[in-house]
A and B are shown apart, each in its own frame.
Chain A
Amino acid sequence: MTAQPVTGTGPLAQRQLALVDLLDRLLAGGVVITGDLTLRIADVDLVRVDLNALISSVNVNVPSPFEEEESL
């Protein structure tokens, strides 16, 4: 097992930030402003659920190791 990829130097690591780590923070973190001062774009969790559905529908062809084993 390896702890990767940070060596503690420089801002924001060496490799490109994984999108999913970014989305964890940008869609679930940050200060949320609601009310009529801004357009209402809350409900990001719903967006996220839909996005997950989108991704899984895109990736239906990725084989699962468990199914593979069942077919032995």
Chain B
Amino acid sequence: MNELRYVYAVTRPFDGVLPQGVCGLDGEPPRLLHHGDLVAVVSPVPAEDFAEAPLKAHLENLDWLTATARVHEAVIGAMTTVTCPVPLRLATVCLDDSGVRRLLDAGHDRFVQTLERLDGRVEWGVKVYADPEPDPSSQPAPSGAPQAAPAAAPASGRDYLRRRLSMRQARESVWERADALSRTLHAELSQRAQAAALHRPQDSRLSEARGQNVLNAAYLVPREHSEEFVAQVRRLAPEEQGVRVELTGPWAPYSFAGQAGQAGQEEAGAAR
């Protein structure tokens, strides 16, 4: 069987031992391929799954993509317990070990710079959702808030119109508040963080999250400042109906492993 090499990450040689039970895509612990002053973290993978054509087909298969992404993340997660790896994009595949060495040679300077830039840093994800529809399960209705009232049948046409109007106003105000909060959060957190990156707002059909995602940002923070950063997010996220802040992390710095300056480039999409 023809085998290819799947590369998860590049790192420096390190002393620690990977946690027990970490498995790569082949079900075995990932291999460390040393080359010069860099180490590639790799697994052998079958060509019938990871050659260009089958891989493209697989990437359209949500179950396959999920399983592969989770393994990739698990390997990176295990690496972060012993060193600061630079994660590669999902499905970086070389033909053989010498292909991996050529990859390390060709990208050497970039890898070294990125390793220095990301050393000791983690990534935190911050998302803001606008959710104009009251959630009956989790929101105790504050008295006097018309938008939270249970929908009893309108007594008259005028009642109906009034209710429609107040619902619309509540919805608009939720959008405005979500937008304002997103801007404030992003401005404040960008100042705290060493770098910021904006991802596309998530499609709720994919995330199955309540409401509409309006901010989907990532911040690069020194690991030892994480608690402070999390506290800052909490402080800036007020208790407000219809607007929700979600924090994820700490992540390996995926969003910052690409070219330097990528964050600025994506900034253009911020004002959505």
Q: Which residues of A contact B (CB under 8 A)?
A: 1-6, 8, 11-13, 17-33, 35, 37-41, 44, 47, 50-52, 54-56, 59, 62, 65, 69
Contacts and interface: CB of A to CB of B under 8 A. Distances in A.
Interface string B162-174: 0000010000000
7 contacts: A13-B249, A18-B207, A21-B248, A31-B257, A31-B258, A37-B106, A54-B60
A52 B93 CA distance: 24
Contact of A50 (B52, B60, B216): B60
B111 A31 contact: yes
B248 A38 contact: no
A40 B89 CA distance: 12
Which bucket holds chain B's interface residue count? 35 or more
Interface in B190-248: 197, 199-200, 202-203, 205-207, 209, 216, 218, 226-227, 230, 233-234, 237-241, 243-248
B102 interface: yes
A8 B4 CA distance: 38
B256 A13 contact: no
A41 B257 contact: no
Given A3-B246, A17-B248, A37-B99, A30 B77 contact: no
A47 B69 contact: no
A62 to B, nearest CB: 7
Please indicate which of the listed interface residues A30, A50, A54 has the most CB atoms of chain B within 10 Å of its own CB: A30
Given A33-B92, A55-B203, A1 B237 contact: yes
A41 B199 contact: no
A1 B238 contact: yes
Q: What is the predominant secondary structure among interface residues of chain B facing chain A?
A: mixed
Interface in B70-118: 70, 72-73, 77, 80-81, 86-95, 99, 102-103, 106-107, 110-111, 114
Please indicate which of the listed interface residues B199, B234, B240 has the most CB atoms of chain A within 10 Å of its own CB: B199
B240 A1 contact: yes
B125 interface: yes
A23 B65 CA distance: 9
A6 B62 contact: no
Contact of B90 (A1, A6, A8, A27): A27
Contact of B245 (A3, A29, A38, A55): A3
Nearest to A4: B246
